[in-house]
Homo-oligomer: A and B are copies of this chain.
Amino acid sequence: MILCDIGNTNAHLLRDGEFVIESLEKFLAAKFNGEVYYICVNDSLRATLKMRKNFTDLESFIKFDTSYKGMGIDRICACKSIREGIVVDAGSAITVDVMSDGKHQGGFILPGLRAYKEVYGSISPRLDFDMNREVLLSSLPKNTQDAISFAILKSLILMIHNSSEGKSIYFTGGDGEYLSSFFENGIFDKMVVFKTLLSTVEELKKGKFKC
């Protein structure tokens, strides 16, 4: 059995207990034997995936109680597996959600690290720099690359810190491990989304849902 969380840039797979991140191109070109259970926030792939006989879209089986309108299924899965704390999914976009006593309190969406980098280049060629992931946050920058890197990283940290109020912060997604390293109360957990996928497949196999 393979579980997939398909995003806008990559597909995250859990295959025989092993995590794999694949580009969408590679993921779509691959042949999968056996059952594949997936969620997908990338609308352009929906029709293609539906045509695959061994692929099952789990979205309609996952229920989540929130007053938030338009929450992506990946975010829902991540939040559903956390009772208390902050859930940060750091991929193409960085979603930050607050869970309190098993209830979703709302959340917000920041650009992902790669998107941030690209926006600067689109403003001016003078701002087209790779992010310096080692930038010092304790003193004000003195060159353009650091001025951009500092702004990206510090604004993400301040936004996440501001919403955490001392609670545990669960990070997942491609940049989750890097971002978690800036927080004492940060926990990197690749399983956050997959926990919900796993429990949904278990319920599905037990015949809880009528297909």
Chain B residues near A42 (CB-CB < 8 A): 124
Chain B residues near A120 (CB-CB < 8 A): 93, 109, 111
**CB–CB A109/B127 < 8 A:** yes
**Given known A43-B125, A93-B124, contact A115–B106 (CB-CB < 8 A):** no
**Given known A42-B124, A118-B122, A123-B93, contact A110–B142 (CB-CB < 8 A):** no
**CB–CB A140/B118 < 8 A:** no
Chain B residues near A72 (CB-CB < 8 A): 126
Q: Which of A98-155 contact B (CB under 8 A)?
A: 98, 105-112, 115-116, 118-120, 122-127, 139-144, 147-148, 150-151, 154-155
Which one of A115, A123, A125, A144 has the highest number of Cβ atoms from chain B below 10 Å of its Cβ?
A123
Interface string of A58-79 (1 = CB under 8 A from B): 0000000001111010000000
**CB–CB A142/B69 < 8 A:** yes
User: Interface-forming stretch among A18-26, A157-165, A198-206?
Assistant: A157-165
- A126's partner among B43, B119, B139, B144 (CB-CB below 8 A) is B43
Across the interface, name the chain B residue whose C-beta is closest to A66. Answer: B142
Which residues from chain A sit less than 8 Å from chain B, CB to CB?
Answer: 8, 41-43, 67-70, 72, 92-93, 95-96, 98, 105-112, 115-116, 118-120, 122-127, 139-144, 147-148, 150-151, 154-156, 158-159, 162-163
